[in-house]
Structure 1
């Protein structure tokens, strides 16, 4: 059987964290099931954080990441939250390659 430890999800930062204590790290994650965090937040809606008023703009050493970088190619949204269109990566259709 596959044995995976429990990971903690933060609804505020949308991050996944691994427990520091070995006691907590050895708890089998299958014990809780996949619906456990959803049921917890449905039971305690007061701890769900509000949506941020500003979009997060990733920076490296204070400089904004360029829109043409690998970071944005691997994400659906651009730096201001707009959805990017998938580009044709140099693939030509058969109609464009035919000679007249």
Structure 2
């Protein structure tokens, strides 16, 4: 029986889905430090997948991982939203679609 190695963070139900398909998987529970490291790696993976597909599903995956990063680092989603809102109030959002081309020194 061939073995396929992954060494990647997966969603909680993936092992049961694999086993329901008649396969056996080997998993482990990560330390907090390893979890954060692999979450950051997963964030990059999901961003790359979204950049390639531009799909809403991949954007949802990116948001899911971002929410887990927030929790794993000891923050709350409310704190994240407050930081986002404060920054938008001070510097604006992106609704006006402004492209800054250059700045001339006076």
TM over 0.5: no
Structure with higher strand content: 1
Higher fraction of helix: 2
**More relative contact order, 1 or 2 (CA 8 Å, 6+ apart):** 2
TM-score range (shorter-chain normalised) is under 0.3
**TM-score with structure 1 setting the length:** 0.26
Taking structure 2 as the reference length, what is the TM-score of the superposition? 0.25
Structure ID, larger Rg: 1
